Chain A
Amino acid sequence: MCLAVPGLLLEITESPEGVRMGKANFGGIVKQVCLEYTPEVKTGDYVLVHVGFALSKVDEDVAARTYALLAEMKQLDELNDGETELEVPLSALGAKPGVP
């Protein structure tokens, strides 16, 4: 229910009633979104959309930094103590759901 999806903002318009609206691309599906709550966003930004409302701009710099930190984590740890193979294979991620 609290599902919210990042979409690429393609254009910004105004509805006949004066509401700030736009179109966003969600992996190929283009939908109308209301931009009243994100006055700062511009076309080309990614916005997080829930029930047709952009609730937040996706901060690209922060996203890149967080991801880089996670991706580099093991290398740093390996320098310290040289760890360990997983007991459980991770093939469940993105593949067969729910199977140990």
Chain B
Amino acid sequence: MKYLDEYRDQEVAEKIVADIRRTVTRPWVLMEVCGGQTHTIVKYGIDHLLPKEIELVHGPGCPVCVTSLEMIDKAHAIAQKPGVIFCSFGDMLRVPGSEFDLLVLKSRGADVRVVYSPMDCLKIARQNPGKQVVFFAIGFETTAPGNAMAVFQARQQGLTNFSVLVSHVLVPPAMEAILSSPENRVQGFLGPGHVCTVVGYEEYEPIAAKYRVPIVITGFEPIDLLDGVRMTVKQLEAGTHEVQNQYPRVVKREGNKVARELVAKVFEVCDRKWRGVGEIPQSGYRLREEFAAHDAEKIFDVEQMEKAEPSICISGLVLQGVKKPHDCPAFGTLCTPEHPLGATMVSAEGACAAYYAYGRHLEAAAKKELTPA
């Protein structure tokens, strides 16, 4: 497929890896921000191709993983109400709340539907005027234009039976939370290419300057990721800390202005709780007051629901790049994709789930066997 296949080319990959080997003189810790990038890295074994000096740690950029437990419980409370059609992206269905997941609710008779696009919900709302159609609007900046358009169009079209349960999160505040932590190990970032397709990368420039870290906005194919590593390592070795764009075929410095305008019209920045991490100030979007008629939290009166998370798993530390999945004693044993204990195992893009899917738990087990007790 054009613009995909050529970015998986083995010969080019070899050239980039050779260049990285020539460049690197000492150990560096890099974080890829986005869960989709983590998935590519583990799927193609990119971390194994790199010289041993370069360690990749995996970032918090999986919105399914970081959606807070109480927000999942709110979704479940709404989905169980009579007359509700609850719509969601497919990857939220198996995410466990305090008691069950959406798939269990569906099996018990709740009208839970998987949609490809938030716009599909408007059609469902038109076809079911006697029902309340609720969409679980999660995601990073990449998904915000889609969700904003659905809400905006609902108002334009006078669809009074459509609302959204908003749990949007933002990347830059999470990066700052990681960088300002005393436990931080990250020295350079592979920035989130698709987030920046929407918002651009101007807001990353003050972060690179303040924390003196290079940030290379990076794509999602194997060649993109290797090239992102190469550019970041070159900066680290040269002692520079700039924002660079590895992904110019889709990312512009200013992002997509039309999309940014509508997002700003529909949403406003708010504090947001992240699963496994806790509350990060100014790290999310909520609906503006003028769209309150489409705000499911207000309509279904679930705003005050609160829920503490169990403290058995280390997903918070994995999300911040402090620990790796196989550092957790529960990884691959008590905690699997079928029975996830925490954030990073619940979605295919979570670091723990990616490690599990591509056999890293078997490697970890083999290493333990080789080590004498």
Binding site for B on A (CB under 8 A): 1-6, 8, 17, 19, 26-27, 31, 34, 36-39, 46, 48, 50-53, 55-60, 62-63, 66-67, 70-71, 73-74, 77, 81, 83-84, 86, 88, 90-94, 97-100
- Per a CB cutoff under 8 Å, which of B45, B120, B192 touches A92? B45
Residues of A within 8 A of B192 (CB): 2
Q: Which of B43, B140, B153, B249 contacts A66 (CB 8 A)?
A: B249
In the assembled complex, B326 has its CB within 8 A of some CB on chain A: no
Contact indicator B146/A1 (Cβ below 8 Å)? no
Residue numbers in B under 8 Å from A31 (CB-CB): 116
Contact B358 A97 (CB under 8 A): yes
Please state if B12 and A53 are interface contacts (CB–CB under 8 Å).
no
Q: Which residues of A contact B36 (CB under 8 A)?
A: 1-3
Q: How far is the CA of A98 from the CA of B140 in the complex (A)?
A: 27
B333 to chain A, nearest CB (A): 19
Report the separation of the CA atoms of residues A46 and B90 in the bound assembly, to the nearest whole angstrom: 26
Among B15-23, B285-293, B296-304, B305-313, the one that faces the other chain is B15-23
B residues in contact with A66, CB < 8 Å? 248-249
- Within B179-207, the residues touching A (CB, 8 Å) are 192, 194-195, 197-198
10 examples of A-B residue contacts, CB within 8 angstroms: A1-B62, A17-B153, A37-B256, A52-B146, A70-B15, A70-B227, A71-B11, A73-B16, A86-B17, A92-B44
Q: Name B1-50 residues within 8 Å CB distance of A.
A: 1-4, 6-19, 21-22, 34-36, 42-45, 48-49
- Which 8 pairs, one residue from A and one from B, show the smallest C-beta to C-beta distance? A52-B117, A98-B358, A92-B45, A27-B1, A63-B249, A74-B15, A100-B48, A6-B3
Out of A62, A67, A98, name the residue touching B360 (CB < 8 Å).
A98
Residues of chain B within 8 A of A67, CB atoms compared: 6-7, 12
- Please report the C-alpha to C-alpha distance between residue A21 and residue B175 in the assembled complex, in whole angstroms: 35
Given A6-B1, A37-B262, A99-B45, 4 new contacts (CB under 8 A): A1-B89, A2-B36, A48-B194, A55-B259
B91 at the interface (CB under 8 A from A): yes
Flag whether B250 is at the interface (Cβ < 8 A). yes
Chain B residue contacts of A2, Cβ below 8 A: 34-36, 61, 63, 139-140, 142-143, 192, 194-195
Decide: A55 and B48 in contact? CB cutoff 8 A: no
Give Cα distance in the complex from A51 to B49, angstroms.
Answer: 32
B373 within 8 A of partner (CB): no
Q: B residues within 8 Å of A by Cβ?
A: 1-4, 6-19, 21-22, 34-36, 42-45, 48-49, 61-64, 89, 91, 116-120, 138-140, 142-143, 145-146, 149, 153, 156-157, 192, 194-195, 197-198, 220, 222-223, 227, 248-252, 256, 258-259, 262, 347, 349, 358-360
Closest to A19 in B: B153
Asked if A90 contacts B14 (CB within 8 A), the reply is: yes
Contact B34 A46 (CB under 8 A): no
Closest to B224 in A: A66
Tell me, in angstroms, the Cα distance from A3 to B156 when the chains sit together: 28
Contact indicator A98/B222 (Cβ below 8 Å): no
Query: In this complex, what residue of B is CB-closest to A6?
Result: B3
Instruction: Report the Cα distance A83→B359, complex, angstroms.
Output: 33
Assembled-state Cα–Cα distance A20/B262 (Å): 15
Partner of B64, one of A1, A57, A59, A73: A1
Interface contact B10-A94, CB-CB below 8 Å: yes
CB pair B1 A26 closer than 8 Å: yes
Separation of A81 and B216 alpha carbons in the complex (Å): 27
Q: Is the CB of B48 within 8 A of A92?
A: yes
CB contacts (< 8 Å) of A46 on chain B: these are 2-3
Smallest Cβ distance from A79 to chain B, in angstroms? 13
Q: How far is the CA of A81 from the CA of B22 in the complex (A)?
A: 10
Q: How far is the CB of B186 from chain A (nearest CB, A)?
A: 19
On whether the beta carbons of B347 and A1 are closer than 8 Å, the reply is yes
